[in-house]
Amino acid sequence: MSYNEWTWRYFATAPGAGELAPGPGVSRGAAGSRQRGTWIQFDLAWRQGATPASIESARFLAFACPHTIAVAAWVAERAAGRGPDPTLPEPLAAIAERFAVPVPKLGRLLVVEDAWAAAIGGA
C-alpha cells in the first residue's frame, strides 16, 4: 500500500508520540482495543491557572495502522492552545481526505475521535 505525503510524513516522524507523567493538570483518555487492531491514547497537559482552560501540550500512544498513527500524531501536534473542546481540529471527512484514508479504515478514525474526547473529558 502506498501512502500520501501527509500520512507518510506524520507516520514516519510521529510528532507527539509518547506519554506524559500522570499528575495534576494532566488528563488521559483512550479508546479502542489492541485485540481489534486499533487502540489510541492521548495525554493532555493543561496550562495551570489558565482561564479559560487550554492545552499546553499533548502526547499520544497508538497500536494501529500507519494512517491511524499519522492522524493521531497530527491531532496531538495541533492540540497546544486548544480549549476543552472534544471535537477534532477538523471534521472526520476532511481528515480522511487529507490523509487519504481508505474506506475500509474509516472506522479507525472514530477511535481517534473517541480517545480525544475521553482525554478532554478527563480534564
pTM reported for the whole predicted model: 0.94
Going from N- to C-terminal start, the domains of the chain cover 5-121
What CATH fold (topology level) applies to the domain 5-121?
Sufe protein. Chain: A (3.90.1010)
Strand pairing report for 55-63 and 26-33: unpaired
C-alpha dihedral, 57 to 37 to 110 to 95, nearest 10°: 70
Query: Looking at the predicted structure, is the pLDDT value of residue 21 above 70?
Result: yes
| Average confidence (pLDDT) over 50-59 | 88
| Average confidence (pLDDT) over 45-68 | 92
Query: Looking at the predicted structure, is the pLDDT value of residue 39 above 80?
Result: yes
Reported as a pLDDT band with limits 50, 70 and 90, residue 49 is confident
